[in-house]
Structure formats: C-alpha cells, structure tokens
Amino acid sequence: MRNRNRIAIIGIGSFGWNLLHQLIESGHEVLAIDKEMGRVEKAAELAADAVCLEATDSQALADQELHELDLIIVTLAHFESLITCASILMEQKVRRLLVRAQTPLEEKILRMLGVTELFDPDEQASRNLVRHLFESESLQRMQPLGLFRIVEIPVPGALMGKRIMDVGLRLKYRLNLITVRRKDSEGKSAVLGVPDPEGVIVAGDRWVIFGHRQDLEIFLNDYS
C-alpha cells in the first residue's frame, strides 16, 4: 500500500461500521470511537484501537490526541452532538476533518461553522454543487430540524462588552453558537467562522444559534 493513514471514526453506527471495514481492508490504521460500549467492543475486534467516550466531551476527545492523526471522520447521526463534536475538533486543530451532513440544511450549518469537507453517504453523488451559504442578509426565521431550531438574532444590548463564554449559552441554556455575523469597516456583513469563547461582543453582532426550541425561547425571553 502506498500510504497508510492513521484515521479516527467517531460514531460506529451502521455506516461507521461499514466505513471501518473498508478503511481497514485498505490498510489504514483506525481508531474507533463511540459512546456505546457494545459498539466499541465489536469495533475493537477489527480496529487498531477502540474507545468508549461521549463525542461532545472536549476533554475526553483531547485525551485521545486526535490532532496527531491524519484524518478524523465524524459520522454521528444525532445532529446536535455532531456539530458540537465538529466544533470541538476544529478548536483542537485536527489535521483534517470530514463530517457527515445528511440534509442541505445540515450542510449549510456545518459550513457556517467552518467545516469544509462534508459527505452524505446516502446522496453523495448528488452533491456536485454547493450553494452559496450567505445569499441573504440573515436567516431571520427559525428553521425547523425536528424539535430543534436554527435562528439568527441580533445580540441583546445587555450583552455588549461581555465575552461570549460569560453568557453561558451551553451551560445555562444548552444552546450552540454556530457563528457570529459582524459588519466590517465597509458596513458589509461578514461571518467570523468558529466563535472564540474569549471573544468580546460588540454592537451590531448577530448570532446564529442552534438548539431545542424551548431552550431558544427561554434565552430569548430572558433578554426580551
């Protein structure tokens, strides 16, 4: 084999299991990660290593030193867990990240987060063209994804001058900040990519937030 890569698969469901087989048969060294011990024990029979952990646990992922691997593939089916995991991995500066996107809306959210390599195992052949992510000034309306929503809102005035991490979006409201829109010196709306928790909120900022409908309503009511 010309190149033997070290690869991690996060999420060993039916697709992740088949992918594990294919990568091993191709001669790659694979680390299998899943939160269900049964899946991990099964994967351990084939993979170079298999670890049981929660993919949204930043410290647990950091302990695996994934930044030293050649490729991380995230195949999680639960979208909230998937975007949280992808955000953590980007913060940990992994070499290469490939993330599953099952719908155009999921694709759009992940690209707003800054993920550049996406795949849909069910519709891969149809993804030849990627729509421009920011055709309109804002999402404006809440967009449905089951019981979850994506919403773009102007940051409440009461939060100006605070750091993003001080708002407690995840700890207090269980919400994920996907990205921040901010006007540049020419007054044009620009997307800042993956939000910096230490970043200071400035006037005119708009947040793109993902979370459960009820949690979003609580947050919005707190600052209405």
By residue count, the chain amounts to 224
pLDDT confidence of residue 1: 43
pLDDT confidence of residue 214: 84
Give the mean pLDDT of 171-189: 84
pLDDT at residue 125 is higher than 50: no
pLDDT at residue 21 is higher than 70: yes
Side-by-side strand order, sheet with 189-191:
143-145, 148-154, 206-212, 176-183, 189-191
Least confident of 13-22, 69-78, 136-145, 148-157: 136-145
pLDDT band at residue 99 using 50, 70 and 90 as cut-offs: very high
pTM of model > 0.85: no
Question: C-alpha angle 215/81/32, rounded to 5°?
Answer: 165
Which residues partner with 182 through β-bridges? Answer: 190
Question: C-alpha angle 189/194/196, rounded to 5°?
Answer: 100
Superfamily of domain 6-126: NAD(P)-binding Rossmann-like Domain (3.40.50.720)
pLDDT at residue 89 is higher than 60: yes
Establish how many alpha carbons lie within 13 A of residue 177's alpha carbon, considering only the half-sphere containing its beta carbon: 30
Q: Where do the structural domains in the chain lie, given as residue ranges?
A: 6-126, 143-222
pLDDT band at residue 14 using 50, 70 and 90 as cut-offs: confident
Which residues partner with 8 through β-bridges? Answer: 31, 72
Q: Kindly state the DSSP code that residue 195 receives in the 8-state scheme.
A: P
SS3 156: coil
pLDDT at residue 152 is higher than 80: yes
pLDDT band at residue 64 using 50, 70 and 90 as cut-offs: very high
Instruction: Name 158's Cβ contacts closer than 8 Å, sequence gap at least 6.
Output: 223
143-222: CATH topology: Alpha-Beta Plaits (3.30.70)
Instruction: Name 120's Cβ contacts closer than 8 Å, sequence gap at least 6.
Output: 100, 101, 102, 107, 127
Long-range contact set of residues 216-221: C-beta below 8 Å, sequence gap at least 24: 216/142, 216/149, 216/151, 216/173, 216/175, 218/173, 219/169, 219/173, 219/175, 220/153
User: For residues 7, 93, 108 and 213, what is the CA-based torsion angle, rounded to 10 degrees?
Assistant: 100
